[in-house]
Amino acid sequence: MKKSNAFALIPIGVFVAVYLSVGIIFEYVMKIPMGFYNVPIIVAFLVALFVAVIQTKGVSLDEKFGIMGQGVGDKNIITMLIIFLLAGIFVGVVGRDSAESVAYFMLSVTPPRFAVVVMFVISCFVSTAMGTSVGTITLITPIAAAISASSGFSLPLCVGTVVGGAMFGDNLSFISDTTIAACNGQGCKMKDKFRTNIAIVVPAAILTLVIISLLSFKSDIPESINKEYNLINIIPYVLVLISGIIGINVFVTLLIGIVSGSIIMLATGALGFPELLSGMGSGASGMFETSMVAVLVAAMCALIKHNGGFDALLSGIRRIFKGRKGGQLGIGLLVVLMDVATANNTVAIVMANPIATEMTKDFDISPKKTASLLDTFSCIAQGALPYGAQILVALSAVSTLGYELTAFDIIGNLFYPMMLLFSSLVFIFLIPEKKKA
């Protein structure tokens, strides 16, 4: 294996150049809505992988495929792919009506003046249960717009609160693809990463609630918001949440959610058997792109590692960051840069995982802490990107309802990502890590 070859990192630069340049052209030149998400990310990774193959000298093409196969065949990659598919099936089974039931139930039992505070709590719960920030924003933003229209609360505050709450669950949920990618990439248990994450996210969430409460204190809502809801629909989400928290294996947790959701959907007549199977299929297919990206990244990173790219990157990081705290900050900045380049926090984690694994060993950081830092910093960056899916989906949702907002209107009200960054830095520099046994 070749050592410390900075040129071996060129495929990552090629991917960033292709993805960003095409995305900018689509978004700002051709004015295509959500232009960055019309860029075929798999094609961009294939181009980068092709460059990595060309760069790998001294071995035959068959041997290059063997190197890529070893990267793709890693146990953590296979585990990640299966979990991705099961998580997709779960969301495909329970559907969106269940999440809306959670939202409207909480609003029905809360004083109107605390509607925005409740919206944050709802977004946190729904995103943690569903494991998707984009899905949560799609569901809850119309409710936030309705609250804004019938009250003195500003629309940017309501929408920014929903986006912030959605990133809470994206970071913390057991079935979030970011959690799956971070934990399997670092080889740690989800419950261990969850317990480590709690120390970061809970203070950030409390500070966010305080800020929103202070902004809401002098406001009032003249009328209550009443919508029909069905409490039985939230049972699968609650079971998944409880199972994850008490440490049940993630495969069993997802199967519990899928089975309970299927029984409820069939028993209540919400879905027939053909529709249930169709929902499972569409949920699984929704994870295909993410799964394929994980495969391509694993193959590309195996070649980069073989050519000495990771050794060169680690050497540079060692020169810049010193000690365990510096290493933790380096891991955070690494995944932030990957996220800024890709506008996709799952892809950013998958790309950062192999390098972060080496940094974990080099700086003597526990895998659960590395997984937590990867997930947390990727969510901080992703939630605040003006061209990220979360903000673009929120803008699209309010635009369809006839409201006008800009990305920067929302960014100014993203209190949770701001507090999460503050809490993460405190976590790194002020809270010592327990020594390994």
Q: Does 321 map to a domain?
A: yes
* 46 Cβ contact list (under 8 Å, min separation 6): 296
| Global model pTM greater than 0.85 | no
pLDDT of 437 reads: 42
**With left for phi above 0 and alpha for psi between -120 and 50, is residue 248 left, alpha or beta?**
beta
Give dist(CA 235, CA 180) in Å, integer: 23
pLDDT of 49 reads: 92
pLDDT of 205 reads: 94
pLDDT of 359 reads: 86
Is residue 215 within 8 A of residue 422, CB to CB? The reply is no
pLDDT of 160 reads: 92
Q: Does 89 map to a domain?
A: yes
Q: Does 296 map to a domain?
A: yes
Per-block mean pLDDT, blocks of 10 residues, the chain (437 long): 76 85 84 74 88 90 91 76 79 70 68 82 83 76 75 83 91 83 86 87 94 79 63 78 68 84 87 88 81 82 84 78 86 85 77 85 88 92 80 76 78 92 90 56
Q: Does 436 map to a domain?
A: no
Based on the structure, what is the number of domains in the chain? 1
Q: Please state the three-class secondary structure of 196-247 as a single string.
A: HHHHHHHHHHHHHHHHHHHHHCCCCCCCCCCCCCCHHHHHHHHHHHHHHHCC
- Nearest alpha-carbon partner for 344 in 298, 303, 290, 301: 290
Q: Does 269 map to a domain?
A: yes
Q: Does 135 map to a domain?
A: yes
Q: With the C-alpha atoms ordered 165, 90, 134, 71, is the resulting torsion angle positive or negative?
A: positive
> Pseudo-torsion of CA 347, 353, 252, 169, nearest 10°?
-60
Assigned token pair, 280: 């499972």
Q: Does 1 map to a domain?
A: no
Q: How many CA atoms lie within 13 A of 435 on its CB side?
A: 1
Per DSSP, helices labelled H in 109-176 are 115-130, 133-149, 155-172
Q: Does 386 map to a domain?
A: yes
DSSP category for residue 405? -
Is residue 233 within 8 A of residue 98, CB to CB? The reply is yes
Classify each residue of 38-51 as buried b or exposed e, where b means 16 or more C-beta atoms within 10 Å of its C-beta.
Answer: ebebeebbbebbeb
Full residue range of the structural domain in which residue 98 is found = 6-429
Give dist(CA 126, CA 100) in Å, integer: 9
CA 263 vs CA 28, 92, 372: distances in Å: 47, 14, 34
